Structure 1
Amino acid sequence: MKLDIDYVRAQFDQLADDPEFTFASNAGGSYVCNQANQVLEHYNHHTRVQPYSRFSPSAEAGHAMDRAHAGWAEALNIRPSELTIGPSTSINTYVMAQAIGDIWKPGDEIIVTNQDHEANSGVWRRKALEKGVTIRQWEVEPDTGLLNIESLFPLLRDNTRWVFFTHCSNVIGAVNPVAAIVKTIKTASNACVFNDAVAYAPHHIADLKALGVDGYAFSLYKVFGPHQGMLYVNKDIRGDLTSQAHYFNSGNPAKDFGPAGPQHAQIAGCAGVLDYFDELHQHHFGASDKKRGAKMEDIHQLMVQHENQLAAPLLEFLHHHADVRLLGKSHTNDNDRAPTIAFQPLKQSAKSVAHKLQDEKIGTEHGNFYAHRLVSDLGMDPDDGVVRLSLVHYNNQDEVNRILKALDSALN
């Protein structure tokens, strides 16, 4: 079975705004599906009051928020009490750095990588320095930007408390084998694991219990929804962490790691993304009594097949172009590469190439994309950075052909 791309594109009204424009900057924030916009519109038109009171609009508002919370917990195969919906992943990890770091002490160690977006790096490093904790860096391979699990072993010790790494690089598109890495960590140490999935979730909503992580974060505005961040914290470790809520709310799972007032309409709108996924599944597989997590896996199989077909000709072109350094794998054969494709032009600046592509109505950008350490350690100027083309399942082959034509012109 193939993804019905015409059906998919009909669920995103913004795609019809300019048929000649190709949006290839999805890793910075995706278009919003119609279903999420409909929920947001209804909430703002009819239930824009403080939620969770007994009177009608307020009760309905609370129900809309609860529907999103419960639905996303089901999709991720976690308990609702393990899920916090906050403003963004950067804010969520900042809050978690306070909650986790409060119990660190001199002699403890943490492991971070230089592959990550700074949201899953800087907050932990800063807190470790504050607490006198040793920071060890799991280094990427300097030629490829890939993480090698073999180089993780020597870093793990009895006093390793946490390991932080990404599910998928937002620059090189490498999908890391999270479950295998977690197993390695747990076998060799008593460390907890926190995983950043901002660049992975647009392509697959994962089963978090199957991954075995203790913490997991991603941003829904990159997964076809409102500007919110999803944060999972395993119930087995929550009691060891410091609540960041007001003292009278301490111990409330909904508030411990979400100290700010929730963005009511935005949270309600998160359910619209699940409505979209449900409708997408029904369109392709018919009515089903499968659990939502199983539906997500079905959808993932459709998405990865389609996205691999989109990425393949772009990777082939860039891999063989003499004036380009392609970052990450040059193929999708192993299903461990997202269609997030970054390259360094060798004879002109990344800025110049990005602007040429933009002039051809290709929506793309250049820079370090908050992976400053990675771009720098791969030997590039982090200010100019790389050109990044990032696709998702609603992109189509016609758009890829436009990108290829524009690339050929911009690079030659």
Structure 2
Amino acid sequence: MTYDINALRSQFPALDAGVAHFDGPGGTQTPRPVIEAIAGALAGPLSNRGHNAPGERNAEAIVNGTRAALADLLGADPSGIVFGRSATQLTYDFSRTLAKSWAPGDEVVVTRLDHDANIRPWVQAAERAGATVRWADFDPATGELTPDDIRAVLSERTRLVAVTAASNLIGTRPAVPEISRLAHETGALVYVDGVHHTAHALVDLDRLGADFVVCSAYKFLGPHHGVLAARPELLETLRPDKLLPSTDVVPERFELGTLPYEFLAGTRAAVDFLAGLDPSATGSRRERLTAAFEALEAHERVLRAQLDKGLSSLDGITVHSRAADRTPTLLLTFREHSTVDAYGFLAERGVHAPSGSFYAIEASRRLGLGDTGGLRIGLAPYNNAEDVDRFLAGLGEFLAS
């Protein structure tokens, strides 16, 4: 198929402001169908879930429809889809629940590559339980986190391995299926941060071998909330803290308080929007998503090659995104210039490429960048060649200043 970037961009009102957005890893812009779905849900009638009044039925339909949509996106069972305020909140909730069974002598594995949202909740839960934290390192020269790096810190006492499916800082995509296999051989559970990965590749819970995958809708064109996928039979074994009158049914037992129905409606619309990226695709929503992500990855490969070629012609740049398998996300530092200054310079010229460590504080430190990080360039479905040209021209002007 032909990836119709002009038709796609016309669906994003935010692009009318004329900004070239390279901030997708921090959150994407929102297409019109998602905006309309949120407004339509609020226009209602809408009330707490039930089966009698129209508002109740609307809320029930939104929740069930969005579980089905996210199950298609993540290769999961709708009954294993849990909604939360954010991926961070969900991870904290599940870390506290899982740690109820941990004891001194147990071990938890985290990695230096991960966003802090898939590190600190586990470190803090382990500390409270008296469990030991084992750190898996990555190679700063290559950006690679290998199964052998995980194997080196596994033992018969490992209870959980927390690992990213894609680094939000440098794009590295570890071999999660092999990591999951190694972890399961020790009897450990695997908790995967799929926040950055889900924006660029179709997730399959079984293929990853993960027990839990968490993501954020606003990273793939939806509104701000978090999603967790797990097998329903695993969720049945977990007993989270909850209010006495709230339901004990899975997955609702993990959803504390009233769900943001309007945001769920927007997320379902985002999944359907993604499923329509290849207009020629037919079949089930999962089949259309498969075709759509193939088209998206092809589009992003072209733009990444354009970026790589342009950056190679500029002096004084270090590109820290070097892994063989990675998302179209680049972290840059400059020999003679501040990345914070570059961020401001580009923003004044209508190019949004932020600077920082983006909560991947351990990865930034391991790269030798301290807490400062670098300039992050992240592609999203609506970026085009003109955006890349504007970025490269602006960066060249900055470096010459």
Aligned 8 A contact 2:37 2:266 in 1: yes
Deviations 1:351-388 (A, max 9, x none): 11111111221012111100011111211131x32011
Partner of residue 202, structure 2: 205
**What is the deviation of 1:7?**
2.1
Secondary structure of the corresponding residue to residue 241 of structure 1: coil
Aligned 8 A contact 1:117 1:169 in 2: yes
Partner of residue 341, structure 1: 330
**What is the deviation of 1:53?**
4.3
Residue 396, structure 1, aligned to residue 380, structure 2: no
Secondary structure of the corresponding residue to residue 318 of structure 2: strand
Counterpart AA for 2:211 = D
Cα RMSD after superposing both structures: 1.7
Deviations 1:21-55 (A, max 9, x none): 20111111101122111111111112233332411
Matches within 5 A, 1:145-294: 145-187=143-185, 189-249=186-246, 251-281=248-278, 283-285=279-281, 288=282, 290-294=283-287
**What is the deviation of 1:350?**
1.4
CA, structure 1 residues 61+258, in 2 after alignment: closer, same or farther (shift >3 Å)? closer
**What is the deviation of 1:163?**
0.4
Partner of residue 313, structure 1: 306
**What is the deviation of 1:56?**
1.7
Aligned 8 A contact 1:53 1:59 in 2: yes
Matches within 5 A, 1:4-403: 4-15=4-15, 17-19=16-18, 21-187=19-185, 189-249=186-246, 251-281=248-278, 283-285=279-281, 288=282, 290-319=283-312, 321-329=314-322, 336-382=325-371, 384-403=372-391
Counterpart AA for 1:76 = L
The total of aligned residue pairs comes to 400
Quote the Cα distance in structure 1 between the aligned partners of 2:216 and 2:24.
Answer: 12
Quote the Cα distance in structure 2 between the aligned partners of 1:5 and 1:59.
Answer: 37
Counterpart AA for 1:296 = L
Quote the Cα distance in structure 1 between the aligned partners of 2:45 and 2:251.
Answer: 21
**What is the deviation of 1:250?**
5.7
Aligned 8 A contact 1:319 1:325 in 2: no
**What is the deviation of 1:75?**
3.0
**What is the deviation of 1:109?**
0.6
Secondary structure of the corresponding residue to residue 157 of structure 1: coil
**What is the deviation of 1:320?**
5.6
Quote the Cα distance in structure 2 between the aligned partners of 1:108 and 1:320.
Answer: 51
Counterpart AA for 1:10 = S
Deviations 1:190-210 (A, max 9, x none): 111010011111112311122
Secondary structure of the corresponding residue to residue 218 of structure 2: helix
Quote the Cα distance in structure 1 between the aligned partners of 2:234 and 2:312.
Answer: 44
**What is the deviation of 1:173?**
0.9
Quote the Cα distance in structure 1 between the aligned partners of 2:211 and 2:305.
Answer: 34
Quote the Cα distance in structure 2 between the aligned partners of 1:376 and 1:260.
Answer: 37
Partner of residue 405, structure 1: 393
Quote the Cα distance in structure 2 between the aligned partners of 1:183 and 1:207.
Answer: 15
**What is the deviation of 1:249?**
3.3
Aligned 8 A contact 1:204 1:296 in 2: no
Secondary structure of the corresponding residue to residue 190 of structure 2: strand
Counterpart AA for 1:198 = V
Deviations 1:264-289 (A, max 9, x none): 211122111122123333x133xx2x
Counterpart AA for 1:18 = A
Counterpart AA for 1:388 = R
Aligned 8 A contact 1:161 1:192 in 2: yes
Secondary structure of the corresponding residue to residue 256 of structure 1: helix
Counterpart AA for 1:402 = R
CA, structure 1 residues 136+320, in 2 after alignment: closer, same or farther (shift >3 Å)? farther
Counterpart AA for 2:280 = H
Aligned 8 A contact 1:51 1:62 in 2: yes
Secondary structure of the corresponding residue to residue 213 of structure 2: strand
Secondary structure of the corresponding residue to residue 126 of structure 1: helix
Counterpart AA for 1:11 = Q
Quote the Cα distance in structure 2 between the aligned partners of 1:60 and 1:177.
Answer: 41
**What is the deviation of 1:186?**
2.4
Which segments of 5 or more consecutive residues in structure 2 lack a partner in the other structure? none
**What's the TM-score once normalised by structure 1's chain length?**
0.92
Aligned 8 A contact 1:245 1:255 in 2: no
Aligned 8 A contact 1:145 1:374 in 2: no
